[in-house]
A and B are shown apart, each in its own frame.
Chain A
């Protein structure tokens, strides 16, 4: 059981990393793109916009605990 937990944690850390919001947003972005495409909208612009927005959001999220602990 302990081995299984370690195995799961390893893959979580390897794939998701230190900010789960990025992974969740990418999954949501892909799902929304697929939905829009299914509805006839060629949403090629959605993922680039998502990536452009995700980077500062993730930086802000990672900086936040450090700032809080320093104060």
Chain B
């Protein structure tokens, strides 16, 4: 008899093996949410730093605080609404969304790793945002102060935070463990906030591209697993299938990087020859 668990199929009548798998899947869920939130938090921090250092911290921090309040409202409204969806439909919906997101993240990560796309560079993004902030004209607004700094930091934190909220809600509700997903997100945000306060510069040394690769693999793996379950599939090995799926997605992705990398070099060589 199935009584639920992180993949929805896990703890079968107190079986130790299934409980063990469930714990491993819990770790996978925590790691996926934690890494995804680290990536988003680093990006939000870069925007906040650009706004704060060029336009003034007061308006930038008010913008970030208003964004956090907005995100909290979204969680309070959407959380119960998502939880009210019947579990099979929820898995179908969430699995589909995670798969779309996962393939998107993974595609970009593979393109970056193989040289088809420029690496994500926080220092470069910070410099661009800073230059734009310095060039922008200043408009004063009551309570907010500098309107540009407020909107820049509000939009940055809200947009990056929205992905965090989405990941926490989808992983949490589908895995019947919102507290674990929220804990992972909270740890990630606190870690990056702490590092940001300590360093006071963009966290360019965080291996963001590698982390995005891992997150893409995990989102795709969980998306396939939950999406198929929602469509009525019974996975061979139940939750244990997830622990085959995720490494399999990783191996295939690394193979794509390997296959695409020589092609990039060849294109580069051809481009050089054409220029010469």
Residues of chain A having any CB pair with chain B under 8 Å: 14-19, 22-23, 26-27, 29-31, 33-34, 37-38, 42-44, 46-48, 51-52, 54-56, 58-59, 62-63, 70
Q: Are B228 and A17 in contact (CB under 8 A)?
A: no
CB 8 Å contact bits of B215-252 with A (1 = contact, 0 = none): 00000100110011011111110000100010011001
Q: What are 27 sample pairs from A and B whose C-beta atoms fall under 8 A apart?
A: A17-B104, A22-B103, A26-B227, A30-B95, A30-B231, A33-B227, A33-B233, A34-B92, A34-B231, A34-B232, A37-B232, A37-B233, A44-B228, A44-B236, A44-B241, A46-B228, A47-B227, A48-B224, A48-B245, A51-B103, A51-B223, A52-B252, A55-B256, A58-B104, A59-B110, A59-B260, A62-B107
- For residue B228, which residues in chain A have a CB less than 8 angstroms away from its CB? 33, 43-44, 46-47
Residues of chain B having any CB pair with chain A under 8 Å: 92, 95-97, 99-100, 102-104, 106-107, 110-111, 116, 162, 220, 223-224, 227-228, 230-236, 241, 245, 248-249, 252-253, 256, 260, 271
Q: Are B227 and A19 in contact (CB under 8 A)?
A: no
- Return A23 CB to nearest CB of chain B, in Å: 5
Most B CB within 10 A of own CB, among A16, A27, A63: A63
Most B CB within 10 A of own CB, among A27, A34, A46: A34
- Return A57 CB to nearest CB of chain B, in Å: 9
Q: Which of B232, B235, B260 sits near A38, CB closer than 8 Å?
A: B232
Beyond A33-B228, A55-B106, A55-B256, is A44–B100 a contact (Cβ under 8 Å)? no
- For residue B106, which residues in chain A have a CB less than 8 angstroms away from its CB? 55
Q: Are A44 and B92 in contact (CB under 8 A)?
A: no
- Return A35 CB to nearest CB of chain B, in Å: 9
Q: How far is the CA of A29 from the CA of B271 in the complex (A)?
A: 38
Beyond A44-B235, A47-B224, is A54–B230 a contact (Cβ under 8 Å)? no
Q: Are A15 and B97 in contact (CB under 8 A)?
A: yes
Q: Which of B100, B234, B235 sits near A17, CB closer than 8 Å?
A: B100
Q: How far is the CA of A15 from the CA of B104 in the complex (A)?
A: 10
Q: Could you count the A-B residue pairs with CB atoms below 8 Å apart for me: how many are there?
A: 90
Q: Are A63 and B116 in contact (CB under 8 A)?
A: yes
Beyond A33-B228, A62-B107, is A26–B256 a contact (Cβ under 8 Å)? no
- Return A58 CB to nearest CB of chain B, in Å: 5
Q: Are B253 and A55 in contact (CB under 8 A)?
A: yes
Most A CB within 10 A of own CB, among B233, B249, B252: B233
Q: Are A62 and B224 in contact (CB under 8 A)?
A: no
Q: Are A23 and B100 in contact (CB under 8 A)?
A: yes
- For residue A26, which residues in chain B have a CB less than 8 angstroms away from its CB? 96, 99-100, 103, 227
7 new A-B contacts, CB < 8 A, other than A30-B92, A34-B92, are A17-B104, A18-B104, A47-B228, A51-B223, A54-B103, A59-B107, A59-B260
Q: Which of A42, A56, A70 sits near B234, CB closer than 8 Å?
A: A42
Beyond A26-B96, A51-B249, A55-B107, is A43–B233 a contact (Cβ under 8 Å)? yes
- For residue B223, which residues in chain A have a CB less than 8 angstroms away from its CB? 51
Most B CB within 10 A of own CB, among A14, A27, A47: A47
- Return A32 CB to nearest CB of chain B, in Å: 9
